[in-house]
Structure 1
Amino acid sequence: MNRRHSPLASLAVSWFATRALMLWLLAHNTEPVLGRGAVAREVWRLYFHWYETLSHGSFPAHDTLWQYPPGAGAVLLSPGLLPDLTYFQAFVVLTLTADALVTAALARAGTRPGRSLLGAALWIGGLPLLLHLPLARYDVQVTALAVLSLLTMSRSTRVCGAFAALGALVKVWPALVLLGTPRGPATRSAWTWAGVTGAASLGLFVVSFNNPLAFLRQQGNRGVQIESLGGTALSLARHAGWPGRARYQYGAIELVGPYVSAVATASLALTAAAFALLLLWRVRARHWTEATPFDAALCAVLLFTVTSRVISPQYMIWLVGLAAVCLTSRHTVQRPVAVLVLAATAVSAVAYPTLYAEVVGCTWTGCLLMLVRNGLLAAAAVLSFVRLWRSARPPAGGPAPMTEPRSGSGRLAHRALSAP
């Protein structure tokens, strides 16, 4: 008993210590090195403004900054459940609650036979690398839905699909976690329940709010963010005479000038190519382990992140969460990828908020920071896909025996995982 509870107690102490540090940083976020208040401002100014609009039964259709699916409205309204706190205080409390839920889910998964607590440790230690940023964005809540979707897959593919759909309604990308569901009944069950849950939830938003799909128009107008891979290339081009410049628009610092539209088009083409590669992997894959769905989810989100026109620092929260899920399994092939993700996360915190003025100014320091961060992400994406592809080959001795899941729907996944 003591041997089992000692690691869990250490994880709990580490969680409280690191989160206390993050709260301290948030309380002092007006310091120049912490962004002069820009990190927290997103909650008490922008999120609260949207909260007021949503409270009157309408999405902010004419706000160019509103670029999120309707499920985001539910997250932004949730601080209203704690009326004794200010909006900012309630938002931080709920974010910490979601963080604790992720930690508990990872720790519980890590205590199962053949699993590891390394995933919980990575989440606890990896999130503070972004300083106080995770407490002032709702990406922790989104990541929680994706993590729960993956961790419930072996027990109930129905619940797995429902969580993925709810996450996708908040920020789209959690739909990718279903890419690695085992073939056959497991995939049909998870995807069916994702479709049913998503359609029912979207219908509820359509009935309850005005303009629930307004985000589509604003999202289509996004350009090339300065922190994206394409933005890094254009920032370096400024030192070679490119006449473009950085400008705040659509809620981010984007680059404007000649060839920007071509870079944006190239990013979309790379995203399409990444999707095609993932589909090819799924068609060609012949071997699944218990970690394959986890590994595929991390790989898919990495590829879509790297090829995106926007790579905001909070995107790293998604990757840390998915890397943590991978490390709960001893069968994962993504351990070196997780190391690269952690390194990229640490560099992201230096770029924003610490030296963001250098990044916006496209100085050599700012360009070097983004070149290192995005280079780490690109290397992680390539390595992740290569290792995922190789892991799909049938082993010489046949597939490893799997532990029988407890629930009926989980047995669907077990039979698919064990099938040749």
Structure 2
Amino acid sequence: MAEARTETSPHDWDTTEVRYGSGPSVPGERRVLLRPSTWPQAWVALGAYWLSSRVVMLALLRAGHGDIAREVYYLYQHWSHGFERGTYPVRDVTWQYPPGAALVMLTPALLPGLSYLQGFVLLSLLGDALVLAALLRAGWNRPGRSIAGAWMWVLGLPLLMHLPYSRYDLLVTAVAVCALLAVPVRPRLGGALVGLAAMIKLWPALTVLGTPRGRTTRQAWTAVGVSAAALLAVLTVFFRGATGFVAAQHHRGVEVESLGGTFLHVAALLGWPGRVRAHYGSMEFIGPYVTWVATASLALTGAALVWLLVWRLRAARWTPATPYDAAMTAVLLFTVTSRVISPQYLIWLIGLAAVCLTMRQTTQRPVTVLLLLATAVTTVDYPLFFEEVVSNSWQGTSVVAIRNALLVGAAAMSCARLWRASVPRRKKLTTLS
């Protein structure tokens, strides 16, 4: 039976009706669907690995929570006491999060019968399971879809050991993944979830950059703005100091694990007189020329934004995978150019890479390989070699340099593959002699 399509504008691919037959969906693509007899085995394999790996992650957290989980029961719990009284930590320089983060940090304190850390870990575990369920639903035995995304999430997250369960980035990623998967089918719902996630941590706002032009973009982008504005209004009414995080962000410097920090690491080995110290909630470089490096990082972020806008204006070929690929590229660019590349940022990238892999047409498969390698090296950086990183030893410098080189390579590859897949080549003009 031949494949039948009802073609519409490429800017509104979400309205296209596609009925797949036995042939390949695109030229050169080999489409393999799981036979019903293989479903139980795949479910058992996924479920068994998820359960066993998460038990190990929880055991690591219990054995070493005095180190990695310190941020939960010192900072998050401390801030939650203020949220219960209706105020943000406006005089705390370590508070640098959008106002919606208060909801995440307050919730564990409201769970009965659990300590704050237990409640936070329970919410993180539920968020982890929610992402897996969403990825399975998106990719399970559907034409053009794949469960490779579910495997990416199940295999990738444990590479960070127990860190994901001791940072609230996992919960933000869970909302962002569900939002991104919902946008093509229900743009208003997906956009509303993106707005909610962006008020918890800003990066999910980038995930709608690749929505196809037309009705989908109008509905999704409007929902993002309305949702974010509504949540900000509610938090401003019921809490004091909801916008105080903006001033704290202004004072951020160059963190030791950032791309700019890598150059300062090398400079320190060559005799640069700067040093590392705790500054505004992270370990940052202090010394001459640091402000130049920070300014260069901001300039690179601005250049990344310009490139993304040019891509959106030039893009003419949209596939169902394009919104996911564009979200991956956008967040990866802003991560690499940030003045701070904390280990938990890899949670975002693992989640977005998993969403991309739910589509067989994705351009980001090689990028996910580099991200997995970068995630593994990140764990060597923190917690295994973090003392060496802070002390500017050659071992710590090497680890940070390798991790950031992998991220830069992944960002460059992601941009190139997204551009080639969606921007048509300009025809060369020839002249007759």
Q: Give how far 1:150 is off.
A: 1.1
The equivalent residue for 1:154 is 184
The answer as to 2:92 corresponding to 1:63 is yes
In 2: Cα distance, 1:173 partner to 1:358 partner: 29
Q: Is the 8 A contact 2:77 2:116 kept in 1?
A: yes
Question: RCO (CA 8 Å, sep 6+): is it higher in 1 or 2?
Answer: 1
Q: Which amino acid aligns with 1:196?
A: V
Q: Deviations over 1:60-113 (max 9, x none)?
A: 000000000000000001113312100000000000000100000001111132
Q: Give how far 1:13 is off.
A: 1.1
Q: Give how far 1:154 is off.
A: 2.1
Equivalent of residue 391 in structure 1, options 421, 426, 429:
421
**What are the within-5 Å matches in structure 2 for residues 341-360 of structure 1?**
341-360=371-390
TM superposition score normalised by structure 2 = 0.89
Q: Which amino acid aligns with 1:181?
A: T
Where 1:308 maps in the other structure, the secondary structure is coil
The equivalent residue for 2:73 is 44
Where 2:343 maps in the other structure, the secondary structure is coil
Where 2:237 maps in the other structure, the secondary structure is helix
In 2: Cα distance, 1:173 partner to 1:393 partner: 25
Q: Deviations over 1:198-217 (max 9, x none)?
A: 11111100111000000001
Where 1:195 maps in the other structure, the secondary structure is helix
In 1: Cα distance, 2:353 partner to 2:243 partner: 31
Q: Deviations over 1:367-406 (max 9, x none)?
A: 00000000000000000000000010359xxxxxxxxxxx
Q: Is the 8 A contact 2:169 2:345 kept in 1?
A: yes
The equivalent residue for 2:117 is 88
The equivalent residue for 2:129 is 100
In 1: Cα distance, 2:259 partner to 2:423 partner: 31
**What are the within-5 Å matches in structure 2 for residues 164-203 of structure 1?**
164-203=194-233
Q: Which amino acid aligns with 1:67?
A: Q
Where 1:9 maps in the other structure, the secondary structure is helix
The equivalent residue for 1:361 is 391
The equivalent residue for 2:63 is 28
Where 1:28 maps in the other structure, the secondary structure is helix
**What are the within-5 Å matches in structure 2 for residues 278-317 of structure 1?**
278-317=308-347
In 1: Cα distance, 2:218 partner to 2:200 partner: 23
Where 2:69 maps in the other structure, the secondary structure is helix
The answer as to 2:299 corresponding to 1:264 is no
**How many residues were matched structurally?**
389
Q: Is the 8 A contact 1:115 1:330 kept in 2?
A: yes
Between the aligned residues of both structures, percent identity stands at: 55
In 2: Cα distance, 1:45 partner to 1:2 partner: 50
In 1: Cα distance, 2:100 partner to 2:271 partner: 43
Equivalent of residue 381 in structure 1, options 411, 416, 429:
411
The answer as to 2:267 corresponding to 1:237 is yes
Q: Give how far 1:281 is off.
A: 0.3
Q: Which amino acid aligns with 1:65?
A: T
In 2: Cα distance, 1:243 partner to 1:252 partner: 20
Q: Is the 8 A contact 1:8 1:107 kept in 2?
A: no
Q: Give how far 1:267 is off.
A: 0.2
Q: Which amino acid aligns with 2:353?
A: A
Q: Give how far 1:240 is off.
A: 1.1
Q: Which amino acid aligns with 1:166?
A: L
Which of the pair has more CA radius of gyration? Answer: 2
In 1: Cα distance, 2:269 partner to 2:78 partner: 39
Q: Which amino acid aligns with 1:52?
A: H
Where 2:211 maps in the other structure, the secondary structure is coil
In 1: Cα distance, 2:223 partner to 2:298 partner: 29
Where 1:376 maps in the other structure, the secondary structure is helix
In 2: Cα distance, 1:182 partner to 1:234 partner: 41
**What are the within-5 Å matches in structure 2 for residues 249-260 of structure 1?**
249-260=279-290
Q: Deviations over 1:128-156 (max 9, x none)?
A: 00000000000011101110111112210
Query: Runs of 4+ in structure 1 displaced over 3 angstroms?
Result: none
Where 1:247 maps in the other structure, the secondary structure is strand
In structure 2, list runs of 5 or more residues that go unmatched.
1-35, 426-433
The equivalent residue for 1:227 is 257
Where 2:92 maps in the other structure, the secondary structure is coil
Q: Is the 8 A contact 1:163 1:194 kept in 2?
A: yes
The equivalent residue for 1:399 is none
Q: Is the 8 A contact 2:311 2:423 kept in 1?
A: no
Q: Which amino acid aligns with 1:3?
A: T
Q: Is the 8 A contact 1:165 1:195 kept in 2?
A: yes
CA RMSD of aligned residues (A): 1.0
Q: Which amino acid aligns with 2:333?
A: L
Q: Is the 8 A contact 1:327 1:335 kept in 2?
A: yes
Q: Give how far 1:239 is off.
A: 1.2
Q: Which amino acid aligns with 1:239?
A: L
